[in-house]
Chains A and B, each alone.
Chain A
Amino acid sequence: MTRNVLEASGIFAGYSPELPILHGVDLNVGQGEVVTIIGPNGAGKSTFIKAIAGLVTVTAGNVQLNGRNITHIRSHRLAASGVGFVPQNGNIFTTLSIHENLVLGAISLRSKPARQRIAEIYRQYPVLQERQFEKAGILSGGQRQILAVARALLTHPRLMLLDEPTAGLSPKAAAELFSVVRSLVDSGSSVLMVEQNARAALRVSDRGYVLAEGRNHADGTAAALLDDNDIRHIFLGMPQQYADHHIAGQNGERDHYNPRESN
């Protein structure tokens, strides 16, 4: 059985203690897994990931990272504890250069190891090295996300938290980013991702969780969620007609639904 990197149980959290957004959410991420949280707007997906990152107060429940309790850890200690976080908005420092963004990402390391890690990141993502002295604010959407992921990777995180990593990206840039997500697992990280582009995210994931109104609604392997008729209809944005049509075909087949048929 896969060892769990992250174990979150009974999480209550929100921006105000009187109005919790999460109501007892349970979620695990195993070693080397990509896990995606899906659900409608307002389900508490981003709140959950921010609660793990320490940016939203957890009022009840328990979060363990490799068996260590990190429920109320201060955010700045999270990177050193082995968690990398890429927020949805404002995930790079636009007024700093690309190199300075990486220096900040490696700030919890000592100077020499930080320099070595930045050099490794430059080898991994040559586009960042080529433009290292330019202001990060002039990068394209896809390049910004690459920089954001690279910044979070500097501390060799055992768990990467990605909040809507493909939001606002072109389909090509989104596909490139999903391939980066898979490569994170190859480099030894586990990934917990919140994504609006649920179908595409589940295709690169091992498992998924469905949240609704701040509670666990369903969970299972990504393939099982993609094939679940109700989940496809309610949470993956496919009409029931398409769901019925698709379920009759082979699993993993390319979508061949014609929207006109649903009228």
Chain B
Amino acid sequence: MLLQHIADGVLSGAVVALGAIGLSFAMKILRFANFSHSELLTWGAYFALVFLGFTTAFSDFFGGNIGPLSFGWPLLIAMVLSAVATSVLALVLHALVFEKLGRGAGHMTMVFASFGIALLLRHVVVLIWGPNPIYYSNELQFAVLLPGNVRVMPDQVFLLGLTIVLVVSLHLFMTRSRAGIAMRGVSENPDLARVSGVNVDNVVRWVWVIGASMAAIAGVLYGLTVQLRPELGFGLILPLFAAAILGGAGSMYGAVIGGLVVGLSENLSVMIIPTTYKPAVPFLLILLILYFRPDGLFGERR
């Protein structure tokens, strides 16, 4: 039973980790808590649904499902297109709202603007796709039995594998590429980065693109293993913030570890408290982190 909860915790933590990376970058580089970030997960999931409608038209060309998974290449291509579309949406929001406000508005104005954007995004989803749950695939999938009597769906194993690949790729980007090093430089000291020749405005756009892409993929993976509904992102807002705060603003590795801790805490908590209280666990984590280590595990000490 314990192993099953650990496996479930790691799998749900992987989705939270992907979503929290972008939120953590935004908190550090854009310097505000972006409450609309979780809605990018929802939009990513629904964008993929739209693109899936187009790509399944070519399913004869792509073939059927990949191995034991419940989906084939059409969904993977739709996921990539969804990451692009969500990035465009994020860049539009940045240009129309956050960039303009950022020139003169204070931190709280940005936070409240992000609340408003979140509400708007969520209700536009309801307006377009309706309030009822939707599934990418209606196929039934059977769990695979692993050693230790742990049962996982093949889709969940794919989710974990893809998360690992994305985190390693992002690590290489941040440490080996000039754009990644520039991003880390802006995160630490934007003025120094600027006089060193870094176009900070471009770096900020990269932050939106990376954050939105990760959020879109997290949204698709969540929709794949659970279901699509307009509150998909809203339901993840506390776990995302808990992971980003636990890891420390701006730390990618912190966000990943934070995501896993949140996922494990939520799933292990049901062994000692009723499942109804499970959503309160991330909130409790946020309180504990802010009380004992406000800069998070990997954040810079102020």
Give chain A's interface residues, CB within 8 Å of chain B: 53-55, 75-80, 85, 87, 90-96, 100, 103-105, 107-108, 111, 151-152, 155
Is B149 interfacial (CB-CB < 8 Å)? no
For residue B251, give the distance in angstroms from its CB to the closest CB of chain A: 10
* Contact between chains at B196 and A79 (CB < 8 Å): yes
* Contact between chains at B300 and A75 (CB < 8 Å): no
* Contact between chains at B196 and A104 (CB < 8 Å): yes
For residue B71, give the distance in angstroms from its CB to the closest CB of chain A: 39
Question: Chain A residue with minimal CB distance to B203?
Answer: A76
Name which of B6-14, B150-158, B185-193, B205-213 contacts chain A.
Answer: B185-193
Contacts of A100 in B (CB 8 A): 181, 184-185
Is B200 interfacial (CB-CB < 8 Å)? yes
Is B274 interfacial (CB-CB < 8 Å)? no
> Do A107 and B188 form a contact, CB below 8 Å, given A95-B300, A96-B181, A100-B181?
no
Is B93 interfacial (CB-CB < 8 Å)? no
Q: Could you give 6 example pairs across A and B, Cβ below 8 Å?
A: A76-B194, A76-B197, A77-B197, A80-B197, A87-B195, A107-B197
A100 vs B178: C-alpha distance in the bound complex, in angstroms? 9
A-facing mask of B146-184, CB < 8 A → 1, else 0? 000000000000000000000000000000001001101
* Contact between chains at B192 and A107 (CB < 8 Å): no
Is B77 interfacial (CB-CB < 8 Å)? no
Is B289 interfacial (CB-CB < 8 Å)? no
For residue B191, give the distance in angstroms from its CB to the closest CB of chain A: 6
A55 vs B190: C-alpha distance in the bound complex, in angstroms? 11
* Contact between chains at B197 and A85 (CB < 8 Å): no
The 10 closest A-B pairs by CB, nearest first: A108-B197, A79-B197, A75-B194, A85-B195, A76-B199, A104-B185, A107-B197, A104-B196, A100-B181, A90-B189
Contacts of B196 in A (CB 8 A): 79, 104-105, 107, 151-152
Is B113 interfacial (CB-CB < 8 Å)? no
A151 vs B198: C-alpha distance in the bound complex, in angstroms? 13
Contacts of A91 in B (CB 8 A): 192
A87 vs B195: C-alpha distance in the bound complex, in angstroms? 9
* Contact between chains at B198 and A104 (CB < 8 Å): yes
Contacts of B188 in A (CB 8 A): 93-96
Contacts of B200 in A (CB 8 A): 76
A107 vs B197: C-alpha distance in the bound complex, in angstroms? 6
Contacts of B192 in A (CB 8 A): 87, 90-93
Contacts of A90 in B (CB 8 A): 189, 191-192
> Do A104 and B182 form a contact, CB below 8 Å, given A76-B197, A151-B196, A155-B197?
yes
A111 vs B176: C-alpha distance in the bound complex, in angstroms? 13
* Contact between chains at B178 and A103 (CB < 8 Å): yes
Contacts of B193 in A (CB 8 A): 93, 104
